[in-house]
């Protein structure tokens, strides 16, 4: 209970900071945005991070008109009692911009942290991520870490995505991705794909997602690597 309370305090502090800084950002070169999401299962790159249980998530982003930004994102997680941590906090520093009217890009460094983890386990690691987007309809992403999943070995993540607007409010999105993992730390690579049906209005959206994973995903991660369904609702501000 104490760790879940601490996560609630982290999220509350993020939202409070957003409210306090909003007035300053409105009159400066800085912009503040954020989101809150409730989901039936926190799935990261095809793998459940909550043992298939629901999650509450929140994020805040401070962006400068030059393209530089920083963000903080939080979620509850569950990796089993022996790990200890019930929370994930991700810190991001990056830069984004556009090559032209059609092409945009983003490069960032993400630090994945897990407060409260037992001293016997080291889960934290860094990842360099680059994303290239065309007309807000197609995107490709490359992530690289020299310590993927805190394994002390490198890993590369490659993703391509497509967005299909159906109506003004309803759209479909699909992605296909592959994780290249070092054989010294993991027995195999794995692949996953997902199909999202998203209905959005004003500052809200509802998302239904089918996650589909390769057989090697279950071999690597067990039941949490199975294909699964996820339902989520988000509020953006």
Q: Where are the domains of the chain?
A: 2-236
The architecture (CATH level 2) of 2-236 comes to Beta Barrel (2.40)
Q: What is the pLDDT of residues 42-57, one digit of tens each?
A: 999 999 999 999 999 9
182 pLDDT higher than 50 = yes
Q: Distance of CA 44 to CAs 71, 112, 116, 191, Å?
A: 18, 12, 20, 12
Q: Residues of the chain with pLDDT > 70: what percent? A: 89
Of 79, 91, 87, 71, nearest to 7 by C-alpha is: 87
Please indicate, yes or no, whether the overall pTM of this predicted structure exceeds 0.85. yes
Of 61-65, 78-82, 87-91, 221-225, where does mean pLDDT reach its minimum?
A: 78-82
For residue 122, give every residue at least 6 positions away whose Cβ sits within 8 Å of its Cβ, in sequence order, or none: 150
Residue 78 CA, distance from chain mean position:
16
Q: Which pLDDT score is estimated for 5? A: 42
């Amino acid at each position: 209970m104490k760790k879940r309370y601490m996560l609630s305090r982290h999220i509350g502090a993020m939202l409070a900071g957003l409210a306090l800084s909003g007035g300053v950002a409105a009159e400066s070169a800085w912009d503040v945005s954020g989101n809150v999401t409730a989901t039936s299962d926190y799935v990261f790159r095809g793998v459940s991070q909550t043992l298939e249980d629901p999650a509450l998530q929140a994020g805040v982003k401070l962006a400068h008109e030059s393209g530089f930004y920083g963000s903080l994102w939080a979620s509850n997680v569950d990796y089993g009692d022996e790990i200890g941590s019930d929370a994930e906090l991700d810190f991001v520093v990056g830069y984004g911009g556009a090559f032209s009217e059609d092409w945009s890009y983003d490069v960032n460094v993400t630090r994945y942290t897990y407060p409260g983890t037992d001293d016997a386990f080291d889960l934290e690691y860094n990842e360099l991520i680059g994303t290239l987007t065309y007309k807000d309809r197609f995107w490709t992403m490359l992530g690289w870490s020299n310590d993927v999943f805190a394994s002390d070995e490198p890993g590369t993540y490659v993703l391509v995505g497509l967005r299909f607007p159906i109506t003004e409010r309803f759209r479909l999105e699909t992605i296909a991705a592959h994780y290249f993992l070092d054989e010294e730390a993991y027995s195999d690579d794995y692949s996953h794909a997902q199909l999202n049906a998203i209905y959005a209005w004003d500052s809200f959206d509802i998302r239904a997602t089918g996650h589909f994973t390769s057989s090697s995903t279950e071999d690597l991660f067990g039941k949490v690597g199975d294909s699964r369904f996820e339902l989520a609702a988000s509020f953006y501000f």
